[in-house]
Amino acid sequence: MFNGGNDTLHVPMSSVEEFWNYKILEISSGIDDIGRLNWKYLLYKVACQVIIWLALIKSIQSIGKIMYVTAIAPVVLSVIIWIRALTFPGATSGMAYFITPDFNQLANLEVWIEAAFMAFYTLGPAWGGLAMYGSHNKFSANCFRDAVFSTVMAVCYGLFNGLVIFSVIGVLSYESGVPLDKVVTSGGFSLGFVAYPQAITFFPLPQIWAVLFFIVLLLPGLDSQTIMMEPVLCVFEEIFPKTIGKKRIPLLTVVTVITFIFGIPLVSQAGVYMFQLVDWYAATWSILLIAVAESIVFAWIYGGDRLSRDFKLMLGRPLPAFVRVSSAFITPAVLTGLVVTSIFKYKPPTYGTYVYPDYARSIGWCFAIIPLLPIVLTIAWMVRNNKGSLKERFVSLMKPSVEWEPAEDTVKHVYRNLEQSYQRSVKRLAMFNLTGRGGFDKLFPESEGDKLEIKPINRNIHAEFNA
């Protein structure tokens, strides 16, 4: 079978996978063989962009309603497919293959690297979407509970989804006589497109189930793109509140058109190679580096002490010890180690048996660097426009802005007094991040005669702190 690369190979694959690659994707011989645009998929893309445009018109108000459908429907369909797959021979073998641990792989650094990348895909840290949604919460909303719940649910659904896919792969392996690890050769995102359609053929009226499946498959994709576009809109609206901030629909239209234009090459016959290239580079190292930067900024520049104070102002209790130590020490150390290791263990991207040419890899590294440029340029611009010596500029920029304060009016007075009364040092911050002592705790109001002179409007906050 022609492998889409430089030579001809006979690669064993199921009929479903062959149909996916050569009928659905109409895959070309390589990334430099663009081929023709698939006008049918271009129209699909137009429809998707229109749906996303409609979902973002009212920002969080419209997004929240869509989430009920996009989050629940895939789970329901996965359960139905799983139950149906269990009625066929081979399903239990596939699930056993999925859940059987290979402890030798724990010593394989590449496994840890891939696991980290998958965690960022699944949970979405450092992408901007979580921060954007969190900014719409009420001041006293239990963000800690929500973070724990959403993380646990995302992990559980990811594991369950893997169980469903491998139960179907087990059925494919049994019917074709191909070993489990050889059933799907394309790998990556193609796995779901191959396994689930095969499972649907076992259902009565498979055509109807196929339509439902691809509609449900479309929903998380629309969900993800909506989450990615909203932070971009928020940035422009907050930077230019008096101009662009008051013209959401024109801004949304411009961003939608730009993203559509950049996505046109993906509907060509070489689109899958381009997608894999962007996915391999742009959504890996840059995201890890941004996550490292965020953990350092929050734990060491803004400071774990300030985070704990803000946490207490919102929820009435300090930052949990595990979160404090993890954000200050474990997270930056582990992620930095993964970045360094992934660079040394770097392997060029592949799609099945196709290996990307050198120039494509160079373009990929550009994709990895581009997301980091705005951060570097913004820091350079802020340092350049600040006053004082270079050291004084950096010290000034590492302090919270005077405009930074709680959104809740009843705690603004407490916040300001705590900020003015607190004297920070590197030693004190490091001690707090490690032990939880030496921060703002002793400055919180403990009696009516406290020096902070809490206003009557803040008596409820005062009582919560004492409690």
DSSP 232-282: HHHHHHHHSTTTGGG-HHHHHHHHHHHHHHHHGGGGBTTHHHHHHHHHHHT
Query: What DSSP string describes 214-226?
Result: HHHHHHHHHHHHH
Q: What is the pLDDT, as a whole number, of residue 1?
A: 41
Tokens for 8, please give them.
């001809």
Compute the radius of gyration of the chain from its Cα atoms.
26
Residue 344 φ then ψ, to 5°: -70, -30
Q: Give the residue-averaged pLDDT of 370-399.
A: 88
Q: What is the pLDDT, as a whole number, of residue 453?
A: 41
CA distances from 102 to 74, 92, 107, 145, 375 (A): 29, 18, 10, 33, 40
Measure the CA–CA gap between 270 and 37, rounded to whole angstroms: 9
Structure confidence by residue, pLDDT tens digits, 196-231? 676 677 777 788 777 777 777 777 777 778 888 888
Q: What is the pTM of this model?
A: 0.78
Measure the CA–CA gap between 5 and 352, rounded to whole angstroms: 10
Q: What is the pLDDT, as a whole number, of residue 8?
A: 38
- Tokens 């196929």 belong to 210
Structure confidence by residue, pLDDT tens digits, 244-297? 877 888 999 999 999 999 999 999 999 889 988 888 888 778 888 888 999 999
Mutual angle of helices 304-315 and 426-435, in 10-degree steps: 50
Dihedral of the alpha carbons of 117, 343, 34, 12, in degrees to the nearest 10: -70
Answer yes or no: are the C-beta atoms of 59 and 205 closer than 8 Å.
no
Q: Containing H/E element for 350? A: strand 350-351
Other C-beta atoms closer than 10 Å to the C-beta of 220 total 13
Sign of CA pseudo-dihedral 369, 372, 377, 383: negative
Residue 351 pLDDT more than 70? Answer: yes
Mutual angle of helices 285-296 and 109-123, in 10-degree steps: 70
Looking at the DSSP assignment, which residues form a beta bridge with residue 351? 354
Answer yes or no: are the C-beta atoms of 109 and 227 closer than 8 Å.
no
Answer yes or no: are the C-beta atoms of 198 and 184 closer than 8 Å.
no
Measure the CA–CA gap between 40 and 46, rounded to whole angstroms: 10
Structure confidence by residue, pLDDT tens digits, 285-313? 888 888 899 999 999 999 999 999 998 88
Residue 81 pLDDT more than 60? Answer: yes
Q: What is the pLDDT, as a whole number, of residue 333?
A: 92
pLDDT band of residue 23 (cuts 50, 70, 90) is confident
Phi/psi class of residue 90: alpha, beta or left (left: φ > 0; alpha: ψ in -120 to 50)?
left
Residue type, 220: P
Residue 69 pLDDT more than 90? Answer: no
pLDDT band of residue 445 (cuts 50, 70, 90) is low
Name which residue leads in pLDDT, 450 or 109: 109
Residue 457 pLDDT more than 50? Answer: no
Measure the CA–CA gap between 172 and 180, rounded to whole angstroms: 8
Residue in 234, 260, 202, 235 with CA at minimum distance from that of residue 43? 260
Answer yes or no: are the C-beta atoms of 304 and 324 closer than 8 Å.
yes
Residue in 374, 351, 376, 352 with CA at minimum distance from that of residue 364? 351
Per the prediction, the chain carries an average pLDDT of 80
Residue 339 pLDDT more than 90? Answer: no
Tokens for 129, please give them.
């979407």
Residue 329 pLDDT more than 90? Answer: yes
Q: What is the pLDDT, as a whole number, of residue 64?
A: 67
Measure the CA–CA gap between 245 and 235, rounded to whole angstroms: 9
Q: What is the pLDDT, as a whole number, of residue 455?
A: 40
Task: Report angle CA 143, 458, 436 to the nearest 5 degrees.
Answer: 50
Residues in the chain: 467
pLDDT band of residue 446 (cuts 50, 70, 90) is low
152-178 per-residue burial string, b: 16 or more CB within 10 A, e: under 16 = eeeeeeeeebebbbbbbbbbbbbebeb
Strands 354-355 and 350-351: antiparallel
pLDDT band of residue 395 (cuts 50, 70, 90) is confident
Structure confidence by residue, pLDDT tens digits, 402-426? 788 888 888 888 888 888 888 888 8
Measure the CA–CA gap between 399 and 303, rounded to whole angstroms: 10
The count of C-alpha atoms lying within 13 angstroms of the C-alpha of 412, restricted to the half-sphere facing its C-beta, is 9
Residues 6+ apart with CB under 8 A from 301: 398
Answer yes or no: are the C-beta atoms of 328 and 340 closer than 8 Å.
no
Q: What is the pLDDT, as a whole number, of residue 265?
A: 92
Structure confidence by residue, pLDDT tens digits, 167-195? 888 887 887 777 777 765 555 555 666 66
